[in-house]
A and B are shown apart, each in its own frame.
Chain A
């Protein structure tokens, strides 16, 4: 089947007086694995359910393959949804669950049998067709849910937090299988999650949502490297953020922050347009300066307050003025942590410094 695109245009949705989605516009490309990432209450599940037809928007339109589906009931949409709790019917066997959508579509009996077998084969559960959902493990139930959805060959696959009910180890494995399956079938897939690692590792592109608004759309690396605002910078990865004001003084760009104090920014940094901007850099971009030769970049002086050992690296908390800077320093075997109270000089390369809007 030819992959199709999903276009969300100017969608607004309220439940009573609560505005849940505010003027959402986003395009999902045909065949794309697309994530809606955000904290709970951000509206990501509401948007997904809207595409499935379970929520009705008040403004805007939803286009699947260029056709407006507003007003089309869920049972006529041909978008497959995998529910967070799988929603397997306990009164049916695995086969009956998978056959359900095909029966509703009035396929001939033989064809249903073939398609059910194929769908179960696809998720590696051919042997368990006669079982009931209650006799399966969580991971197996999830595969059945996926098989049930894929059996109807939907135009779009919607996944609502599909990994959240699995334990940590199984989650990583299932995640990888999900990616392989999506790449193999090439089906347009929209994936809702609150877990940034899940979104970063699986998806072509991610829409970060907060308070019913799409904050940024981009590839995983885009979002991590070039977050547009404070929310995205904080939600995707860890970050050091400092509010303050910029001014040009001679040739140099100066940044004065109530917490960090007065610092000179390195040459080569792009000056932001006027407005409310924060200075941002990732903890892993911070280096300790050893010896006298200060490398080019933002230079900060501080004292170690504490350290957490995380295996691959040490996460230092360093007091600089009234601020605390987080620095992730790679660990080498046998190297002792720097004791609290020790004065250290820090450096952040110019390329790692970003201005994000507040």
Chain B
């Protein structure tokens, strides 16, 4: 297909947008970390970083927390994934619930509730102390971060691993059985290695998310980790302090390393053979003992996973709640407070996230079309640029924005860019673009090119075809992409904390964080949290419905 100049213009505009709001801020951060201030290259800042014992400790802690979380999440997710995919039993719906529940609540929101349930004088420890005179330091220091993050992020491994397991051709396992393998050895030597791509994808994602997370440690008052240190350096010492940038470079390096590593690992081995034939393994029956173990495991996990949700709900409804197992007096006053005090924040969230999601689906649709339907030279670059956004920690982008756009004013007398609401829209749209793009790509892949050719054959031009055929057929995917971008932006905290220059600009996520800073604010914070979680849950449900509703309609054109 001939490439029209207008397509090239659209592509260039997208590249310009991503360069300005993704590449330049990140490059600025990296440049600052290696710059001696006179335009020369230096490693002195890194040496300074290594010379501060708190920094060395933070680095070790961040690595330890991320690695331990991956390990624990694996322990939770692997049995659950294996159960759903390989055994006949009624708990499958429970496991699916387990896989979605944590994702609808931002980790830092759950963290406050977990403190009340599992903290030193939380419900569980009060009960244990009364009964046995012992307490478990689940929420002490790094333990708390690991505990909260594990329960929040294990679904990434569960979902990816389940998909991978379901794709393994049954003959792969039968061949191993035929040659004498069974049980644990069969799982360890054949099943798990074959499911590796899914496991690695999930595990590397968990590692990155935990390594970069700012909100959870801050809410739990853990500051001896990398992300909180970067935040504290930049906010307390100032934008000129190079140590914050050094930390950012470390965060970026690990993110890129983990993503690149997982990509390299899957690419290195030829897994294409695995799903040939496409016969899924028959599901086995559980023996009575296995059933007891399976249901016990699921029930335990369900309890843990639900605890932040229940905790936040109780917090939002309780008058006072401390040193008691459950709150003793209930009230709706916190919701009333939130609706009077935080109205602006709720509105801000809708404005920022709505506009950001709109930008995302517009760019996502355009990139999907350019990559999949045109022969524009270098079109893959667009896709790669967006993938870069996926690997960029919010903290790094936030710091990059503050530094790059310092002193840049909005046109028409809008004041400083970094002090306006526009910066939120830009930051959210860049960070969440990968989600919208995946959704749009998937939708366009399902639209058979013949449907477009038919439109052109009866006289529709390129733009007319896009507007009247392509976009309507992609609509389910576009809407799902919009919802995903919206809800993930609404739950964003790292960038938000950095970019909020005054309270009137703050979105809900910042509001929750702010409320949690004081003991008195817990109630309203939790109430705002419940509202946010309901919003995210509703959005998640909607996007699932949209995807489900649109796929049969789209496949009607799919005769290759």
Question: Which chain A residues have a beta carbon within 8 Å of chain B's beta carbons?
Answer: 52-54, 73-77, 79-81, 83-85, 87-91, 100-101, 104-105, 132-135, 148-149, 152
Q: How far is the CA of A352 from the CA of B280 in the complex (A)?
A: 49
Instruction: Give the distance to chain B from A111, nearest Cβ to Cβ, in Å.
Output: 15
CB-CB under 8 A from A90, the residues of chain B are 194, 269-274
Closest 10 CB pairs of A and B: A134-B270, A101-B179, A104-B180, A87-B171, A87-B175, A74-B177, A91-B193, A75-B182, A83-B171, A85-B277
Q: How far is the CA of A134 from the CA of B266 in the complex (A)?
A: 13
Q: Are B180 and A89 in contact (CB under 8 A)?
A: no
Q: Are B172 and A104 in contact (CB under 8 A)?
A: no
A75's partner among B180, B272, B277 (CB-CB below 8 A) is B180
Q: Are B271 and A83 in contact (CB under 8 A)?
A: no
CB-CB under 8 A from B273, the residues of chain A are 88, 90, 133-134
Q: How far is the CA of A75 from the CA of B182 in the complex (A)?
A: 7
Tell me whether B190 is interfacial, beta carbon within 8 Å: yes
Q: Are B179 and A83 in contact (CB under 8 A)?
A: no
Instruction: Give the distance to chain A from B168, nearest Cβ to Cβ, in Å.
Output: 10
Q: How far is the CA of A144 from the CA of B277 in the complex (A)?
A: 18
CB-CB under 8 A from A80, the residues of chain B are 178-179
Q: Are A75 and B177 in contact (CB under 8 A)?
A: yes
Q: Are A81 and B270 in contact (CB under 8 A)?
A: no
Q: How many residues of B contact A (CB 8 A)?
A: 27
CB-CB under 8 A from A88, the residues of chain B are 175, 273
Q: Are B190 and A74 in contact (CB under 8 A)?
A: no
Tell me whether B174 is interfacial, beta carbon within 8 Å: yes
Q: Mark B274-289, 1 if CB is under 8 A from A, else 0.
A: 1011000000000000
Q: Are B193 and A89 in contact (CB under 8 A)?
A: yes
Tell me whether B140 is interfacial, beta carbon within 8 Å: no
Q: Are B194 and A100 in contact (CB under 8 A)?
A: no
Q: Are B172 and A89 in contact (CB under 8 A)?
A: yes
Q: Are B181 and A75 in contact (CB under 8 A)?
A: yes
CB-CB under 8 A from B56, the residues of chain A are none
A83's partner among B174, B193, B196 (CB-CB below 8 A) is B174
Q: Are B176 and A100 in contact (CB under 8 A)?
A: yes
Q: How far is the CA of A104 from the CA of B277 in the complex (A)?
A: 26
CB-CB under 8 A from B373, the residues of chain A are none
CB-CB under 8 A from B180, the residues of chain A are 75-76, 101, 104-105, 152
Q: Are B171 and A135 in contact (CB under 8 A)?
A: no
* Shortest Cβ distance from A151 into B: residue: B179
Instruction: Give the distance to chain B from A155, nearest Cβ to Cβ, in Å.
Output: 13
* Shortest Cβ distance from A101 into B: residue: B179
CB-CB under 8 A from B272, the residues of chain A are 90, 134
Known contacts A90-B269, A90-B270, A134-B272, A104 near B181 by CB under 8 Å? yes
Known contacts A75-B182, A104-B180, A152-B179, A85 near B169 by CB under 8 Å? yes
Known contacts A73-B182, A104-B180, A152-B180, A132 near B270 by CB under 8 Å? yes
Q: How far is the CA of A73 from the CA of B178 in the complex (A)?
A: 9
Contacts beyond the supplied A89-B194, A104-B185: 18 A-B pairs with Cβ under 8 Å: A52-B178, A54-B174, A73-B182, A74-B177, A75-B179, A75-B181, A87-B169, A87-B171, A87-B172, A87-B174, A88-B273, A89-B193, A90-B269, A90-B272, A91-B269, A100-B179, A134-B270, A148-B179
Instruction: Give the distance to chain B from A170, nearest Cβ to Cβ, in Å.
Output: 18
Q: Are A75 and B178 in contact (CB under 8 A)?
A: yes
CB-CB under 8 A from A91, the residues of chain B are 193-194, 196, 269, 271
CB-CB under 8 A from B190, the residues of chain A are 89
The winner among A104, A149, A152 for most chain B CB atoms within 10 A is A104
Q: Mark B470-486, 1 if CB is under 8 A from A, else 0.
A: 00000000000000000
Q: How far is the CA of A101 from the CA of B180 in the complex (A)?
A: 6
Instruction: Give the distance to chain B from A64, nearest Cβ to Cβ, in Å.
Output: 14
CB-CB under 8 A from B276, the residues of chain A are 85
CB-CB under 8 A from B172, the residues of chain A are 87, 89
CB-CB under 8 A from A133, the residues of chain B are 270, 273
CB-CB under 8 A from B179, the residues of chain A are 75, 80, 100-101, 104, 148-149, 152
* Shortest Cβ distance from B268 into A: residue: A132
Instruction: Give the distance to chain A from B396, nearest Cβ to Cβ, in Å.
Output: 35
Instruction: Give the distance to chain B from A292, nearest Cβ to Cβ, in Å.
Output: 60
Q: How far is the CA of A81 from the CA of B175 in the complex (A)?
A: 7
Q: How far is the CA of A342 from the CA of B190 in the complex (A)?
A: 67
Q: How far is the CA of A104 from the CA of B189 in the complex (A)?
A: 10
Q: How far is the CA of A74 from the CA of B174 in the complex (A)?
A: 8
* Shortest Cβ distance from B192 into A: residue: A91
Q: Are B177 and A73 in contact (CB under 8 A)?
A: yes
Q: How far is the CA of A26 from the CA of B271 in the complex (A)?
A: 40
